Amino acid sequence: MSTDVRSILVRSARAEARRDGSRTIEAEHVLLALAGLHDSAAAQLLAEVGLTEDAIRTALNREWEQSLAVAGIAVRMGLLPEATPEQGRDPHIGESTKLLLHRAMDAAPKLGGGRIGPMRMLVGLLATERGRVARALEAAGVDRAALRTRAAEALAAGAR
């Protein structure tokens, strides 16, 4: 299975968005997709700091709970009523995913003719302190900046 940007987005991240009931593919869905590519250096780096798919889901739910608490709403995610996801739905690329792709393309070393791979996507994903992913990592006690440095070093050393 090829693991370029297209297959990651079209296959895994879209499936994550669908499962989440989301009408768009956002950065958190890309993060889950990357963590699910178990053979990739990017997923291994995530796992090294404890970010398995399960841990990421837990962190995203915690971020949701914490942000709702700011608005005075106490919700336990496990107690929310479930909606049946739409299997045929095709979520389109959301704004946070567009930003991460731009950042991935801009990351050093300069992208040659090749396609964007998982590690480059991870570098783009970790580049921002804003948004749900950054807040979820903070909720999980993960040092995002340090993780980003490691990912950038791996990318510079040739990891795709």
Query: Which residues here bind other proteins, judged by CB under 8 A?
Result: 21-22, 63-64, 67-68, 70-73, 75, 80-89, 130, 132, 135
Asked if the bond preceding 109 is cis, omega within 30° of 0, the reply is yes
CB of 52 to other proteins, least distance (A): 22
Token digits of residue 6: 């297209």
Instruction: Point out which residues pair with 25 in neighbouring strands.
Output: 93
**Which CB atom, from 119 or from 133, has the smaller least distance to other proteins?**
133
Q: How far apart are CA 160 and CA 157, in angstroms?
A: 9
Q: 5 near 98, Cβ under 8 Å?
A: no
Structure-block tokens of residue 129: 């302190």
Q: Which residue's CB is nearer to other proteins, number 7 or number 67?
A: 67
Nearer to other proteins, 42 or 125 (CB): 125
Alpha-carbon distance of 83 to 45, in angstroms, equals: 33
State the nearest-atom distance from the C-beta of 65 to other proteins, in Å. 8
AA letter at 23:
R
CB of 31 to other proteins, least distance (A): 16
The nearer residue to other proteins, 68 or 157, going by C-beta atoms, is: 68
Rounded to a whole number of angstroms, the minimum distance from the CB of residue 17 to other proteins is 12
CB of 46 to other proteins, least distance (A): 22
Nearest CB to other proteins, comparing residues 80 and 145: 80
Dihedral over Cα of 41, 135, 56, 10: its sign:
negative
